[in-house]
């Protein structure tokens, strides 16, 4: 059987959510969902796992903090200690309070930019990347469920289409590949 993709378009986020629940209830695997804004509650229905970007940000922050501590120690204590207003310049922990603003700023700098870059790379949203949304209206006011026949080997395409027609679908597109 030739593989095909079905794009079921809905005109409302709540209708789409209801339809996704119905389809998944019938054992149909929904591949993805395209929407103009986050549809809350869709992730667990179609099996999208929680993102770990928060952890990424924390790791980058930790890296930034360590780097800033290493830098301030090297510049101010190890390489060239300077007497600035009599501040202790012979031991890192004694001079450290004066470095807190720098440590903080650099932590934030690394956490924010590290996470943002990871986000763009993981999303495959980078300058010059082609858009893959099936219909230009999905960034305006339409919501699309993508169902791949490859993921639903147990059902014929006709049965899939029949099930989708049972929902309040607005428009139905069927593409063979």
Near other proteins by CB under 8 A: residue from 39, 161, 164, 169: 39
Rounded CA-CA distance 120/80 in Å is 40
Q: Is 34 in the site for other proteins (CB under 8 A)?
A: yes
Q: Is 125 in the site for other proteins (CB under 8 A)?
A: yes
User: Of 108 and 159, which CB lies nearer to other proteins in the complex structure?
Assistant: 108
User: Of 3 and 51, which CB lies nearer to other proteins in the complex structure?
Assistant: 51
Contacts of 57 (CB under 8 A, 6+ apart): 111, 112, 114, 115
Near other proteins by CB under 8 A: residue from 8, 76, 147, 164: 76
Q: Is 70 in the site for other proteins (CB under 8 A)?
A: no
Near other proteins by CB under 8 A: residue from 6, 23, 28, 138: 138
Place of tokens 């049965």: 159
Q: Give just the sign of the alpha carbon dihedral 87, 91, 95, 97.
A: negative
Whether residue 81 contacts residue 135, with contact meaning beta carbons closer than 8 Å, is answered with no
Rounded CA-CA distance 145/153 in Å is 18
Q: Which run of H or of E encompasses 33? A: strand 32-34
- Interface with other proteins: number of residues (CB under 8 A): 65
Helices (H) and strands (E) in the chain, counts: 6, 4
* Residue ranges binding other proteins (CB under 8 A): 14, 32-40, 42-43, 46, 48, 50-51, 53-54, 57, 61, 71-72, 75-76, 79-80, 82, 84-85, 87, 95, 98-99, 101-102, 104-106, 108-109, 111-113, 115-116, 119-120, 122-133, 136-141
């Amino acid at each position: 059987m030739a593989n095909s993709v079905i794009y079921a378009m809905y005109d409302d986020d709540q209708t789409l959510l209801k339809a996704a629940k119905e389809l998944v209830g019938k054992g149909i695997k929904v591949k993805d969902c395209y929407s103009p804004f986050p549809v809350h509650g869709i992730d667990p229905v179609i099996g999208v796992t929680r993102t770990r970007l928060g952890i990424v940000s924390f790791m980058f922050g930790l890296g930034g903090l360590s780097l800033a501590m290493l830098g301030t120690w090297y510049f101010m204590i190890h390489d060239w200690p300077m007497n600035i207003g009599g501040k202790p310049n012979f031991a890192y922990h004694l001079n450290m309070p004066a470095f807190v603003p720098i440590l903080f700023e650099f932590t934030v700098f690394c956490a924010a930019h590290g996470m943002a870059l990871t986000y763009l790379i993981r999303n495959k949203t980078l300058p010059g990347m082609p858009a893959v949304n099936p219909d230009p209206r999905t960034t305006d006011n339409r919501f699309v469920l993508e169902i791949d026949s490859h993921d639903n080997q147990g059902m014929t395409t006709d049965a899939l289409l029949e099930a989708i027609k049972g929902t309040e679908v607005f428009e139905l597109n069927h593409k063979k590949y």
